[in-house]
Amino acid sequence: MNPDLRRERAAATFNPELVTHLLDGSPENTRRRREIENMILNDPDFQHEDLNFLTRSQRYEVAVKKSASMVKKMREFGIADPDEIMWFKKLHLVNFVEPVGLNYSMFIPTLLNQGTTAQQEKWLHPSKGLEIIGTYAQTEMGHGITVGDIGPKFGYDEMDNGYLKMDNYRIPRENMLMKYAQVKPDGTYVKPLSNKLTYGTMVFVRSFLVGEAARSLSKACTIAVRYSAVRHQSEIRPGEPEPQILDFQTQQYKLFPLLATAYAFQFVGRYMKETYHRINESIGQGDLSELPELHALTAGLKAFTTWTANSAIEECRLACGGHGYSHCSGIPNIYVTFTPACTFEGENTVMMLQTARFLMKSYDQVHSGKLVGGTVSYLNDLPSQRIQPQQVAAWPTVVDLSSPESLTEVYKLRAARLVDIAAKNLKAEMSHRKSKEVAWNLTSVDLVRASEAHCHYVVVKIFAERLLKIQDKSIHTVLKNLFLLYSLYGINQKAGDFLQGNIMAGSQFTQVNQRIMELLTIIRPDAVALVDAFDFKDVTLGSVLGRYDGNVYENLFEWAKKSPLNKTEVHESYHKYLKPLQSKL
C-alpha cells in the first residue's frame, strides 16, 4: 500500500463502509453486490483483457464473447434480480461496452411495457437467453433488408451501430406491440389512452442514465482524487518536501466540487429509479396522473446530469496532468463511453425543451387558478410572490449559507424566476402575432435556462432531503459539507441569476466564496475515504492512476511495456521507410 494513501485513509473522520451501505441502499445490498463481484473475480473463465491494446475488431469480438459468457454465467449463478443483473454485468464486462446491450436495456423493457401478454410469452424468454437478439431497429433481418455497420465512432468500439434499409417489406400486424396502441385486423388504428404511454422505454432508459452519470463521474473522481494524493510536485513552502498535489487549493477547487456533484447525482439516480418504478406501478393500475411529470423530469434530469458529468469527467482528466491523457489513466475510456449519453435517448437541448413544455403548461395552470403538485409546486406561489419584477424591492434577504433548507429555497426562487421570465417572453412573442411555434423558437434559449434552473433546484432539493434521513453523526457531517459545497459552488457559477433576481444580496457573494474555500479545507482529510466509499474494484476502474493500493509508478511502466509497439526494439516501418532515406546521407 502506498504510504500516502495509508495515511489518508487513517486520517478520515468517518467510516467509508457506512457510506457504501448508504449508496447501495442497505448493508445487505452491499454484501450481495460484493458476493456477486467475487463470484466473477474467482471464476477461472473470467478474463479481463486490457482493451487499450486491442483493435476495434478485436474489442468487438471480445465483447461479444463476454456477452455470450455472461448469459451462461447468470444462469449458472441463478442471478435474475434486475439490480443483481446490473452488478454482474458491470464487473463481468469490465470497461467493455455490451454489443447486445440494447437487447436488455431497450428491447426487453419495451416488451414488458408495451407488449400484450401473448407477445411477452412469445418473445420474452428467448430474448433473455439471447435466442433472439432485439435491437432498436423495429424489424428483423432476411427480407429485402440491407444492414451494415456505420463505421468507427468517438467511442463505443464494441457496439456495431448499423444502418438499415427496407425495400418493400411488409411487417406482420402481430409484430406490433399492442398493449396500448393497436391496429385491428380491418386496419382500424386504436390510439393509446395517452401518447406518453408509448414513451415507456425511453423514460426508463433516461431515468437509468441519471444513475449512469453518477457512476461514470464517481469513477473519474476516484481516479483523480487517489492520483492527486499519490502525486507529489513543486513546493508550497521553500525548502520543504514536495507536497501531494491534493494539498494545492487549486487542485481541491477543481476536484472537490466534482466529488460533491458525484454524490448529489448518486442520490438523484436512486430517487429517479424509485420514482420511475413507483409511477410505473400506478400506470399499470390505470392512474396516469403523474405520467406527464415523470416524462418531463426524466428528460430534464437526463440532460442536466449527463451534460454536467460529461464536462466534469474531462475536468478530472485534466486534473491528472499529462498522465490523464494516457489510456492508462482510465479516464479517456470513461469519457468516450459516457459522452454519447448527451445525445442518445434524446439530444440534451431537445430534452430541456421538452421539460420546458411541462413547465409552461404548469405555469399556465397556476395562472388560470389551478394548483400544481410534485416538483413544480413552487409555481403555486408565483402570482403572489415577491419575485415578480415589480415587487423585487422587498427582496433580497440574508441567506443562511450553512442551512440546507435556506440554500434549497434560493435555488427554488431562481427556478421560479427563470420560469416566469421564459413564460412572459413567450407570451410577449406570441402577442406580436407570431405563431406559437415561431414564438417558441424565439424564446428557446430562455426556456432551456428555465429547465436547467428547475433541474438544478430538484437536485439540490433531493440532496437536502436525503441528508435529513441520515442518522449517523459523522456521516451526516461529511455529507452535509458536500451538500454545502455543491450548493454554494453552483451559486458562485450562476451568480448572475441570483443577483439579477435580487434573490441574494451582492455583499453575500464574498461570504459564499470564503465559505467555499473553508469547505475545501474541511473536506480535504476525507477526500480519499469519500472516493473509497464508491467501492469500485480496480478492474472496474481500469486505471493505473486510480489503483486502490496507490502503487502507480511501478505499474505505469509495466502497463506501457504491453504496447504492441514494444514487441520489437525497432518497428518494421523504420526499415521500410526511414532507413533508406538515411542510407543516402
Catalytic residues: 345
Candidates 107, 106, 277, 113; CA nearest to 179 is 113
Measured CA to CA, the distance from residue 402 to residue 522 in angstroms comes to: 14
CA angle 378, 380, 383 (to 5 degrees): 115
Contact 297, 458 (CB under 8 A): yes
Contact 419, 450 (CB under 8 A): yes
178 by DSSP, 3-state: which? Answer: coil
Contact 358, 292 (CB under 8 A): yes
Cα dihedral 544, 62, 88, 302 in deg (nearest 10): 80
Candidates 258, 268, 232; CA nearest to 317 is 258
Cα dihedral 274, 275, 276, 282 in deg (nearest 10): 110
Who's near 201: CB < 8 A, 6+ residues apart?
106, 109, 110, 113, 114
Reported as type and span, the H/E element at residue 187 is none
Contact 460, 407 (CB under 8 A): yes
Q: What are phi and psi of 144, to 5 degrees?
A: 55, 30
469, burial (CB in 10 Å: exposed 0-12, middle 13-18, buried 19+)? exposed
Query: What's the grid cell of residue 378?
Result: 413552487
Query: What's the grid cell of residue 188?
Result: 382500424
Query: What's the grid cell of residue 340?
Result: 454519447
Measured CA to CA, the distance from residue 115 to residue 178 in angstroms comes to: 6
Q: What are phi and psi of 95, to 5 degrees?
A: -105, 20
* DSSP H helical ranges for 51-195: 56-77, 82-92, 101-102, 108-114, 117-128
* DSSP H helical ranges for 129-248: 200-230
Both ends of the chain: CA-CA distance in Å? Answer: 53
Candidates 268, 228, 272; CA nearest to 250 is 228
CA angle 190, 191, 193 (to 5 degrees): 125
Who's near 228: CB < 8 A, 6+ residues apart?
244, 245, 246, 251, 255, 319, 320
Measured CA to CA, the distance from residue 179 to residue 103 in angstroms comes to: 19
